[in-house]
Structure 1
Amino acid sequence: MDSVVVLFILLLRPGLRWTAAAEDMSWTYTGLVGQSQWSEHFPECGGSSQSPVDVVTTQTKYDPGLPPLTPLGYSQHGNRPFTLYNNGHTAVIELPDWMSLDGLPWLFSAVQMHLHWGSGGPSYGGSEHTINGQSAEAELHVVHYNSELYPNMSAAMTQRDGLAVLGILIVTGEETNPAFNNIINYLSRVRHANQKVFIPAFDVQSLLPKDLDRYYRYNGSLTTPPCFQSVIWTLFHERVQISKAQLLKMETILYSSKADEADRMLLQDNYRATQPLNHRAVFTSFAADSGKELSSG
């Protein structure tokens, strides 16, 4: 999760004032203000608790006190449409605030979800988190803020206990995942940066793995500038599967450039390299690797 979130807040609250660094939207994944230069412009990107990370399963710690994670209201999408937005870095879907998470120390209310992907199709990577050095083809992030301690997202995102993000690793197979078509089928309507469209509301829980009890938990950061170290990460052990055709559409249909720009730039490889774990621990809610790792969603 990332300053996808900062961009999202700035768009929702035009009068909101941030630091000059946070308002500078010129960062990229490669190029002049690419990943290796982020910390020069956004100091927290050089912090010691950055995300994403590589989860080495033999070095994780089983914590029997980690409760099952329960999404609340994810299936109760109501009649109002969702908003799908291309912010030049990813596709963002705004979520109603009645969606929240149970199983964390505080109540966390949903804000938005977004995707990260690669450029080469299956087996070329695209996820932000990796497990034992292996990346998935894409990754979904569902972003929440601590609504029990903070009045809004902008106040929470700079606090250590301010955000909770669900990370869902996405791999490819032969079968189409109908849940993800609720997003993918509408990407053509926001092909260029800053384009926004209403899409039919849908069951957000259908995007998640079936097994929500087995996950990895660690403290980290937003995965793009300004890289605030404010995220309680939950990375599910079970991965979700989409078809190769769905992945191809995700990787090739969006542009990071605006509609009026002459040089069109495909929005690809929008994932950050894994960061040093340093002295952080990655906890697991399960004792041993067993059971299925794939889900049709």
Structure 2
Amino acid sequence: MATVIDNDTQSIVVGNGNDRIAIHLKQSATDTVQNQSQSLLLTSILIEIGDIEIQIRRSTKSKNEYRKENILPTSTQSPAIAFHNGDLQKKPATEEKSNANPAYWDYSVVHGPHMWSKIFPHIQCKKFQSPIRIYTDQCEFDSQLARHPFTFKFDENCCQTIENTGRSFQVTGKGSSSITGGPVVDEYQFLQFHMHWGANDLEGAEHVIDGVRLPGELHIVTWNTSKYKTPQAAAASDQFDGLMVFGILVKVVPSDNQEFAKFIDLLSNVTYRSEKININQATIALKNILPSDTQAYYTYKGSLTTPMCYESVCWIVFRENAGLSKRQFDQLRQLKYVCKGDHSTNGNISQNFRPVMPLNGRTVYRSF
């Protein structure tokens, strides 16, 4: 058994690999009566048992908010319990779907990741889904990866627009780009990048590395232009060479990330779902978003982490992390999944990540 204390989080880990059980206790300081002293308030507990995750977290809602929703806890001394995928969200009025169209999905309990296989039945047959847990000591070192380093070429028009999709932000463009090398033999082209995050600093990343889940993960999505005519055809191919997605895990750091600030500071212009703006030429340089060491990474065959969850992805998860300040993470959490004018709910996108999926016999390779 190992106990790890990191700032305000204490982790207790028993076993390893698929037999591993981890309990993460997150605390924060809270003022006592008349601010004379501080005590630690247990804010969340995350329990990981194999591929199962259970989270219990203290609700941030006030007593009056519970009264309005007619769900006031029986004891005001007891914290509310919420499941891993967030509070039970009411579907925004602007996105109400009829029963004839069951394809609506989000990250709530009702339409979230645990329900996707019911909303999209074909997912039930899929065995090589993403994200996954990665343990470095269980990965297979592939010396060939170092002999075929990545080459990235992006022009200044790759990032032309930023949009609130209602599930994240998304940056796209029509500039010329080329990505070669690594575990693939074909040429790939930049399609878009987006990000996943959580309601707090204990969760948010989709991939979990060596038992640690960071609060964010940025995905750079590219598609195979050598074999497919369109990005849609590449994604729907269900061939593991259709897409190549680069995952950059993001941690909390003391100061702002100046490169990431170039798009995070634009988010106030796309607060609501479907809002979209143009980006000035050369504002965002993709090469500066990539980690300094792009040759150290994990790679495996997997899927998109959002519906339709096609198994057409060669995943590249960089070893090197990026960093955002707490202020920048808070900016992400101000994005809303509702359209402007919809006041049926506060609508903040606070948890937009999929839980880890079973490895099901796949091999994860590493280049380092």
**Same fold by TM-score, threshold 0.5 exceeded?**
yes
**Would you say 1:158 and 2:240 are equivalent positions?**
no
Q: Is the 8 A contact 1:84 1:196 kept in 2?
A: yes
- Structure 1 residue 24 displacement after superposition: 5.7
Q: Is the 8 A contact 2:263 2:284 kept in 1?
A: no
Quick one: which amino acid aligns to residue 137 of structure 1? Answer: P
Secondary structure of the residue aligned to 2:343 is coil
Using the alignment, how far apart are the partners of 1:35 and 1:134 within structure 2? 21
Quick one: which amino acid aligns to residue 50 of structure 1? Answer: Q
- Structure 1 residue 260 displacement after superposition: 2.7
Cα deviation digits, residues 226-246 of structure 1 (max 9, x gap): 100000000000101121211
Quick one: which amino acid aligns to residue 259 of structure 2? Answer: A
Quick one: which amino acid aligns to residue 127 of structure 1? Answer: A
- Kindly tell me: are residues 281 and 90 of structure 1, through their superposed partners in 2, closer, same or farther at Cα, counting changes over 3 Å? same
Question: Of the candidates 259, 279, 297, which is equivalent to residue 215 of structure 1?
Answer: 297
Using the alignment, how far apart are the partners of 1:225 and 1:141 within structure 2? 15
- Kindly tell me: are residues 165 and 147 of structure 1, through their superposed partners in 2, closer, same or farther at Cα, counting changes over 3 Å? same
Question: Of the candidates 356, 359, 363, which is equivalent to residue 274 of structure 1?
Answer: 356
Question: Of the candidates 185, 188, 210, which is equivalent to residue 265 of structure 2?
Answer: 185
Structure 1: unaligned runs, 5 residues or longer:
1-22, 287-297
Question: Of the candidates 195, 215, 220, which is equivalent to residue 137 of structure 1?
Answer: 215
What's 1:63 paired with? 142
What's 1:174 paired with? 254
- Structure 1 residue 44 displacement after superposition: 4.0
1:38-77 equivalences in 2 (<5 Å): 38-46=116-124, 47-66=126-145, 67-73=148-154, 76-77=155-156
Aligned-residue sequence identity (percent) comes to 33
Using the alignment, how far apart are the partners of 1:208 and 1:81 within structure 2? 14
Q: Which protein has greater RCO, CA pairs closer than 8 Å, 6+ apart? A: 1
Q: Is the 8 A contact 2:195 2:217 kept in 1?
A: yes
Q: How many residues align?
A: 258
Secondary structure of the residue aligned to 1:65 is helix
Quick one: which amino acid aligns to residue 58 of structure 1? Answer: D
- Structure 1 residue 125 displacement after superposition: 1.3
Between stretches 138-147 and 88-97, larger displacement belongs to 88-97
- Structure 1 residue 31 displacement after superposition: 2.4
Using the alignment, how far apart are the partners of 1:81 and 1:175 within structure 2? 24
Q: What's the TM-score once normalised by structure 1's chain length?
A: 0.83
- Kindly tell me: are residues 97 and 82 of structure 1, through their superposed partners in 2, closer, same or farther at Cα, counting changes over 3 Å? closer
Q: Is the 8 A contact 1:95 1:113 kept in 2?
A: no
Cα deviation digits, residues 148-187 of structure 1 (max 9, x gap): 0011111111121211100000111112111001111010
- Structure 1 residue 69 displacement after superposition: 1.8
Q: What's the TM-score once normalised by structure 2's chain length?
A: 0.68
Q: Is the 8 A contact 1:42 1:227 kept in 2?
A: no
What's 2:337 paired with? 256
Moved over 6 A (4+): none
Secondary structure of the residue aligned to 1:148 is coil
